[in-house]
Amino acid sequence: MKPEYKHLIVQIENCKDYICSTIEEKVNEKGYLGYEEIEHIIQKSLKMYLKRNPEEMRSIANVMWWIFATPNYRILVSLNGKEDRSGIYSFSKEKVEEEFKKYFNILMERLLSL
C-alpha cells in the first residue's frame, strides 16, 4: 500500500471517529438531530480531518451521509404536512461500521479522484 493511502486511511478513520462521537453526544444531549445539524457535523469533519474545502468534497459528503445518517435516520412527518421531525433519534455505531465497510472503496475512489 502506498504511504499516501495509509495517511488517507488514518484521516478517514479520524473523521469517522469524530462524526460518530459527535452525533452520539448530540443525540444523547438533545434527543434528536435534524438534517442541518447532521450536515454541519459531516462538513466540519471533512474540513478538520481531510483538510479540504467541503464544497469541493460534495461527492465525499454524500458518501459520508450514506454511512452515518442513512442507517440511523428516521423519517417522521405529520399528516397535515406542517411538521417535519425527520432525523436521528438514536445512533448505532454498529450500523455505521457495517456501512463504512460497504462504502469504503467508493469513499477511497472519490477521495483519490480529487
pLDDT tens digit sequence for 10-30: 999 999 999 999 999 999 999
Entry field: residues in the chain: 114
Q: How far is CA 112 from the centre of its chain?
A: 18
Question: Residues 34-52, buried b or exposed e (16+ Cβ, 10 A)?
Answer: eeebbeebbbebbeebbee
pLDDT band at 75 (very low <50, low <70, confident <90, very high): confident
pLDDT score at 81: 65
pLDDT score at 106: 95
Beta strand spans in 1-114 (E):
73-74, 87-88
The pTM score is: 0.89
Residue 83 has pLDDT above 90, yes or no: no
In angstroms, the CA 73 to CA 88 distance is 5
